[in-house]
Every structure is written in C-alpha cells, then in structure tokens.
C-alpha cells in the first residue's frame, strides 16, 4: 500500500505568499521561493502552489514565477491558477512542474481535462473541487464553488468528483471553503464520502490544525493526500509566521497511527 502524502499548499496573491481564512482576507506570510527552499530542506512529500488571482482576473499563468519555483523545487510540484487550455498546461509541464491543477475551467468544461490528460498524461492532471456547507433555511447541504468561492454550481461534490474522474482527472482535491485557515480539523464526513466514490488518488485540504488531524484523516480514508496551509506556515495561537513540516520519523509515526485507526 502506498504511504499517505503530507502536502503543504501555498497560496500566491499579487506575487507574494499569503494565507486566507474562508478564502478571504489574505495575510502576507513571505516569499514563495524562500518557502520552497525551506520545504526542500525539510523534505516535504510534495508541494502545491495555487495562484488565487489568475482565474478571477482572467490572467494567464505567471510562467516566470512557475519556472523559478520549478527550478528551485526538489520535490514533486503541482501548480494551479489560470489554466484554461491544453497549450498552457503543456507549457507549465515543460517548465519542470509535475502536475497541473484545474478548478473552474474543469468544472465548466470537463472535456478540457480529457484533452489535457491525452497530451500530458492523466497522472499529471489534478481537479480541485472547492466545497462549502450551506446552513441557511432554504439552501442547506454541500455546495460546489469556483472562482474563490464567488460562483456556485448545481452538482454535488460526490457527483462532480465522479464526473471529473471519468473526464480524465488523475487526482481529486477536495478543498473545504468553510474550514480554510480555521485549523478546526478536516471535514472527515465529506472526505469519507468522496473516498468511497473515486478510485484515483484523493487529497483533502482545509482545516488541518495539528498533526493529529492528519492522523485522523488517514484513519478515516486510509491512503490519502493530507494537505494543509496554515499548519505549515504558522506557529502557535498568535499565528506567527514559521515555515514548518514534520521530520521523516514523525511522518512515519503519523501514518502508522492513522493506519492503526483505519484498520480498527
């Protein structure tokens, strides 16, 4: 069985590294290249970089930034933000990036995933599904959103994850809008539902506040990607900026604890 992956996710806004809460109020936390250097030293399993401006601004991916990140990164790198065409995806892969991530473009046109997968390989295509829980009297339940949670879609996360898998996604990322930046723990109910519905690798993002949250996610889903932002860029209740990541021995311990819960 493959070992679960523990994955820092970095958000880029106006060229800088930021962290949001509920997809809002981006707080500057440093330079993306410096963060990559630190995660190199800490031997992170993988790194995800998402440009949160590109799609909402209708902008092309920042190829210079991507090239600089790829040149520095010594771990598998996934980039997302502003990808709308096969040509863009191919160019990003040619810069040394292992995977490209799509959200709005894939949800609005799933055939794009098929086209990209045929050109760069399914293993390099990631579909990100941003999900929020609606609690109002008339709109309860799970809702898929895009464009930094400003646009809602009718399909449920489960239905959409199956459709995007069929279209060509080699990995599904479920990102909790409500838990983003809260450090309140993953949405385990949602994670378990999607794990039952897709066969491709699954990554869960949003809410991790401790390494035990990661072990709990593994205990719920087994082999899974556990991704986090705040957990790896902040330290303590005052949210002091400190890039951090568990050492190899600690990662092994977390995975062992999680699998023990999963098998039980």
Active site residues: 130
The beta strand positions in the chain, using DSSP E, are 5-13, 16-21, 24-30, 47-51, 77-80, 99-102, 125-135, 140-146, 151-153, 171-176, 202-205, 225-228, 234-235, 240-241
Residues 6 or more apart whose Cβ sits within 8 Å of residue 110? 163, 164, 166, 167
Cα distances (Å, whole numbers) of residue 132 to 95, 180, 186, 190 = 33, 10, 12, 10
CA distance 130 to 146: 6
How long a stretch of residues is the chain?
A: 264
Residues 6 or more apart whose Cβ sits within 8 Å of residue 147? 55, 56, 104
CA distance 177 to 132: 5
């Amino acid at each position: 069985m493959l070992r679960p992956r523990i994955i820092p996710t970095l958000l880029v806004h106006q060229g800088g590294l930021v962290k949001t809460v509920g997809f809002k109020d981006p707080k500057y936390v440093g330079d993306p290249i410096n963060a990559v250097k630190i995660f190199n030293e800490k031997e992170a399993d993988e790194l995800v970089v998402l440009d949160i401006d590109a799609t909402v601004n209708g902008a092309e991916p920042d190829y210079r930034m991507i090239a600089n990140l790829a040149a520095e990164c010594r771990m598998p790198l996934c980039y997302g933000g502003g990808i709308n065409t096969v040509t863009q995806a191919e160019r990003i892969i040619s810069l040394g990036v292992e995977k490209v991530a799509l959200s709005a473009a894939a949800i609005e046109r799933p055939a794009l995933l098929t086209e990209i997968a045929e050109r760069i390989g399914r293993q390099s295509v990631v579909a990100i599904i941003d999900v929020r829980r609606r609690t109002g009297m008339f709109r309860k339940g799970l809702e898929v959103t895009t464009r930094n949670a400003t646009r809602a879609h009718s399909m449920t996360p489960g239905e959409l994850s199956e459709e995007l898998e069929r279209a060509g996604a080699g990995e599904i990322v479920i990102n909790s809008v409500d838990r983003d930046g809260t450090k309140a723990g993953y949405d385990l109910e949602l994670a378990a539902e999607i794990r039952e519905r897709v066969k491709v690798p699954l990554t869960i993002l949003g809410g991790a506040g401790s390494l035990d949250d990661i072990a709990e996610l593994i205990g719920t889903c087994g082999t899974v990607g556990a991704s986090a932002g705040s957990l790896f860029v902040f330290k303590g209740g005052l949210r002091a900026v400190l890039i951090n990541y568990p050492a190899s021995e600690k990662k092994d311990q977390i995975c062992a604890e999680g699998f023990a819960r999963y098998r039980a």
